[in-house]
Structure formats: structure tokens, C-alpha cells
Amino acid sequence: MQASPKRNRGRRVAVVGAGSWGTTFGKVLVDAGCEVTILARRPEAAQEIQVAKRNSQYLPGVNLPKRLRATSDPARALEGAEQVFLAVPSQSLRENLAELESYLERESLLVSLVKGVERGTSMRMSEVISDALDLDPDRIGVVSGPNIALEIAKEQPTGAVASCVSLAAAQEIATACSGPYFRSYVNTDVVGTELGGVLKNLIALAIGIVDGVGYGENTKASIITRGLAEMTEFAVTQGASPTTLSGLAGLGDLIATCQSPLSRNNTAGRLIGQGFSLEETKQQMQQTAEGITSVGPVLELARERGIAMPIVQQVQMVLSGRMRPKELGPHLATEDDVPRAELSLGIGKQGAWRRLLGRMKGGRA
Ligand SMILES: NC(=O)C1=CN([C@@H]2O[C@H](COP(=O)(O)OP(=O)(O)OC[C@H]3O[C@@H](n4cnc5c(N)ncnc54)[C@H](OP(=O)(O)O)[C@@H]3O)[C@@H](O)[C@H]2O)C=CC1
Ligand SMILES: O=C(CO)COP(=O)(O)O
């Protein structure tokens, strides 16, 4: 690795979460020149990173930088941190923030690296942060992109988007996390950047499922392409710009996650496609697969806005055992629908959507 960039010299930041992404992101920040402390919930995990410069559970075989610090003490981790990067599972973020609130610096930026939505509220993580800490949106950022942790931990080059409604804050975040192998671009479309990361997980589950069944590249290409249309329509109805969904945080991450056997969402889908139940799959997965918990809240929001997401709908039906994996395919959702223009985003409420809603009655994944 090249010498640390000077522009981040003296910049203190913290990462909350010592799993595969929190640890990798800590390394990205150190290699970008920041002074980084990771907050781990288990003292032994903090100790291993701090002393052995390893995280054997989540990043086997990876040597972490000497300058990367870790602790399980929130006061020590957050002291002086001008940016706090959050890398815990979406369903625990609210309770984690409540525990951290009293240790946060008054001016610090809170940056979500989390790619899920909250069950029960259907909130995006930036909304959860705002709600839990009563922060102004210009202190809340998001970093998202095609960022498979293990590849980045091995210093394979990639890009991401740092987003905040304040362009100046987005630039600060991007500066902190741009280094020799990780380049951050900026935008102010927090909704689009965040939803790109959430929605690609659902399409990656679909890809994993059809892969597990044994379907080939035509099926997967159809799902990826129609999946991007579903992602874009959904995100736009939530206030996103469509261009964000065709950038790194949308299409970029969709490609990475759908292609990589390292993706946990893709892997979870593959196990289900091979015939394992959702419970068996969760037991086999030792890491966070956000798509499994996001599918319900996303469909809830889609229903509220009256938009159809046939692929995501089918993923939910497969996860809940109401559809066989081999039935999942973009063509099945439109078999009794009126033919329509391929590039139209609007999927409409008629035909297949109603039929799917009918089949859905009786529970959710
Ligand atoms: N891995 C990746 O390639 C990427 C992941 N992300 C996103 O980052 C987020 C974190 O994922 P990732 O690091 O991969 O997940 P992992 O499963 O690898 O690690 C989860 C981390 O969160 C901790 N944790 C689990 N439950 C709780 C809780 N209730 N309270 C506090 N901490 C908890 C775990 O601690 P413990 O070890 O003690 O259980 C562990 O440190 C997800 O939203 C994911 O989508 C985004 C980009 C890339
Ligand atoms: O978000 C990711 C890559 O950008 C990681 O995807 P998984 O959570 O499916 O491993």
C-alpha cells in the first residue's frame, strides 16, 4: 500500500461495529490517513484487532494496519471523533445509538454504512439516526457502493458514494474515506444512495435463489435488468433521483452483489434455492444478510405508494415458503398482464400484481 494521504492527518474518526464491514472500513479510513478507533461490542473482538491486528472471525487471513485501534469502551472510541461510521445490523442500530448518544461529540457527523431498513417503522437508517438522536439532516451521511468487504480488505480497488444533504458534509466524509484503493464520489441524494444499497440486497436474494435452482445467465440477466427497474421506480417514489440508481450506489452495487459468491444475500438466496428453509439458512449464515429483514418493510412501502415490485414480491413468497424457488422469474409475474413497453418503469397495479397480492395473503417472510 502507498503512503497515507496527508489530507486526513490528525482527523479522528470512529467506526461502530467490528464485523466484516466495520473492520474493513476501519482499514480503509486508516489507509486514507485518518486516526481510527473501532468500537466492538465484545471485548475479545476489540482485543484481537487492537493487539494482534486481526479479525479472525470476520476477515480470516487479513492483516490489519498497525495504526488501527479498537476498544469495547464507547467513551474511548468516540472521544474527539469528528465522524462516526455506523456498521452494525439495521435492526439493532436504534438501540445502539441510544447507548452511544451521551458519548458523541457535539459536532460529529453520523455516517451510515448500513444497507437495511428498520422493521416496524420501514425507516431508512438515516431516518432512524435522525429520529433516535434528533439530529439535523446535514449531520447525517451515508456511504454506499459496490463494496464487498473481503475484496476491499485485500486492497482491491473500488468506488463508493458519500452522500449528505449538505454537499460540504458529503465532501468531508468522502475525503475521510478516499485512499489508495477506495475512491469516494459525492452526491446530495441521500434517499437514492441509501435505497440503492437496501434494494440491491433483495435482487441479490432473487439471483441466489435462481442460481440455487440451477437456472442460467438468461434468467439472472432478466432479474438484474428488471430488478434495476423495480429498484429505480421504488426509489423515485420515495424521493430519489433516478440517476443515483444508475450509479455506483445502485447499478454498481447491484452488479457486485449479484455476481459475487462472497455476498451474504446472494449466498442466503442460493441456500434457499437449493432447498434449505429460511430458518436453516439463517442458522448456516454466520453474518448479516440484510435483505431477509428488509423485504417486508420495502413491500409495505411499495404497497402504500401503489407500486408493483414483482421480483421482490416473489422473493418474499419464496422466503416464506409460499412459492417454490423454481417458480421465481420475471416472466411469471406478467403472464396474464397486458404487454407493455419494456423500458417503462411503471409496473402498474393490475393483473399480475393483484394475483400476487392474492397469493400473498396468509403471512409474510
Ligand atoms: N460485509 C460487507 O461486504 C458490507 C456490509 N455492509 C453493511 O454493513 C452492515 C454491517 O454488516 P457486516 O459488518 O457485514 O455484518 P457482520 O455480520 O459481518 O458483523 C456484524 C457486526 O455487528 C455486531 N452486532 C451484531 N448484532 C449487534 C447488536 N445487537 N448490537 C451491536 N452490535 C451488533 C457484530 O458483533 P458480534 O461480532 O459481537 O456479533 C459485528 O461486529 C450491514 O448493514 C451490511 O449490509 C455494507 C457494505 C459492505
Ligand atoms: O453490500 C455489500 C456489497 O456492496 C455486501 O453485500 P452482502 O451483504 O450481500 O454481502
What is the mean pLDDT of the segment spanning 253-281? Answer: 97
Q: What pLDDT score was predicted for residue 287?
A: 85
- Residue 58, marked binder: yes
Atom of ligand 2 nearest to the CA of 204: 9
Q: Please report whether residue 139 resides in a domain.
A: yes
Work out whether the CA dihedral 355, 359, 364, 365 comes out positive or negative: negative
d(C-alpha 253, C-alpha 160), whole Å? 9
Q: Is residue 6 part of a domain?
A: no
What would the mean pLDDT of 55-72 be, rounded to a whole number?
A: 97
Give the Cα separation of 263 and 21 in Å (integer). Answer: 12
Ligand 2 atom closest to residue 200's alpha carbon, by position in its atom list: 1
Residues 124 and 223 in one domain: no
Residue 288 confidence (pLDDT): 86
203-231 mean pLDDT: 97
Residue-wise pLDDT for 234-248, tens only, equals: 999 999 999 999 999
Read off the CATH number of the domain in which 133 is found.
3.40.50.720
| pLDDT level of residue 175 (50, 70, 90 thresholds) | very high
Asked if the model's pLDDT at residue 364 lies above 50, the reply is: no
| Ligand sitting nearest the alpha carbon of 253 | 2
Helices (H), 32-107: 43-47, 74-78, 93-100
Q: Which helix (H) or strand (E) holds 140?
A: strand 140-144
Inform me whether the pLDDT recorded for 345 exceeds 60.
no
351: confidence class by pLDDT, cuts 50, 70, 90: very low
193 is a domain residue: no
Q: What are phi and psi of 33, to 5 degrees?
A: 105, 0
The Cβ of residue 41 has, within 10 Å, a number of other Cβ atoms equal to: 16
Looking at 153, 168, 188, which one is the last position of a domain?
A: 188
Q: Which of 165, 188, 211 is the last residue of a domain?
A: 188
pLDDT band for position 2 (cuts 50, 70, 90): low
Q: Which residues are within 8 A (CB) of 225 and not within 5 positions of it... i.e. 6 or more apart?
A: none
CA of 334 to the centre of ligand 1 (A): 37
Looking at residue 290, which CATH number applies to its domain? 1.10.1040.10
Mean pLDDT of 191-199: 98
CA distance 210 to 16: 35
Residues 48 and 143 in one domain: yes
In this structure, the answer to whether residues 179 and 214 fall within a common structural domain is no
Residue 138, pLDDT above cutoff 90 = yes
Is the pLDDT at 334 greater than 60, yes or no?
A: no
Q: How far is CA 147 from the centre of its chain?
A: 9
Name the catalytic one among 200, 282, 326, 361. Answer: 200
Asked if residue 170 and residue 222 are part of one domain, the reply reads: no
Is residue 287 within 6 Å of ligand 1 at its C-beta?
A: yes
**Does the annotation place 145 within a ligand binding site?**
yes
> Does the annotation mark 200 as catalytic?
yes
- Asked if the structure places residue 4 within a domain, the reply is no
CA 147 to ligand 2 center in whole angstroms? 7
Is 61 annotated to bind ligand? no
Above 70 in pLDDT, residue 343? no
Closest of 365, 229, 208, 223 to residue 297, by C-alpha? 365
Q: How far is the CA of 264 from the centre of ligand 1 (A)?
A: 11
Residue nearest atom 45 in ligand 1 by C-alpha distance: 115
Same domain membership, residue 246 and residue 167: no
- 102 in the same domain as 241: no
* DSSP bridge pairs for 15: 38, 85
With cut-offs at 50, 70 and 90, classify the pLDDT of residue 330: confident
Q: Is 200 in the pocket of ligand 2 (CB under 6 A)?
A: no
How far is Cα 112 from Cα 163, in angstroms, rounded to an integer?
10
Residue 359: is its pLDDT beyond 80?
no
Per-residue pLDDT of 115-128, as tens digits, reads: 999 999 999 999 99
- The response to whether residue 11 sits with its C-beta less than 6 Å from ligand 1 reads no
Cα of 156 vs its chain's centroid, Å: 19
Q: What is the DSSP string of 237-290?
A: HTT--HHHHTSIIIIIHHHHHHH-TT-HHHHHHHHHHTT--HHHHHHH--S--H
Q: Are residues 213 and 348 in the same domain?
A: yes
Report the pLDDT value the prediction gives residue 336, as an integer from 0 to 100: 52
- Report CA torsion sign: 312, 292, 150, 171: positive
Q: Quick one: 159 and 307 in the same domain?
A: no
- Domain termination residue (choose one: 163, 188, 213): 188
Cα(114) to centroid(ligand 1), Å: 8
> What confidence category does residue 6 fall into, taking pLDDT thresholds of 50, 70 and 90?
confident
Cell numbers found for residue 262: 462472497
Minimum CA distance residue for ligand 2 atom 5 = 148
**Looking at the structure, do residues 140 and 220 belong to the same domain, yes or no?**
no
Q: Report which secondary-structure segment, H or E, holds 29.
A: helix 20-31
Q: Are residues 147 and 51 in the same domain?
A: yes
- Ligand 1 proximity of 88 Cβ (cutoff 6 Å): yes
> Residue 187 pairs with which residues in a beta bridge?
163
Domain count for the chain:
2
Q: Within this chain, do residues 19 and 162 fall inside the same structural domain, yes or no?
A: yes
Ligand 2 within 6 A of CB of 263: yes
Q: Are 151 and 216 in the same domain? A: no
Each residue's pLDDT tens digit, 27-51 = 999 999 999 999 999 999 999 999 9
Residue 356 belongs to domain spanning: 199-360
User: How far is CA 88 from its chain centroid?
Assistant: 11
Confirm whether 306 is domain-assigned.
yes
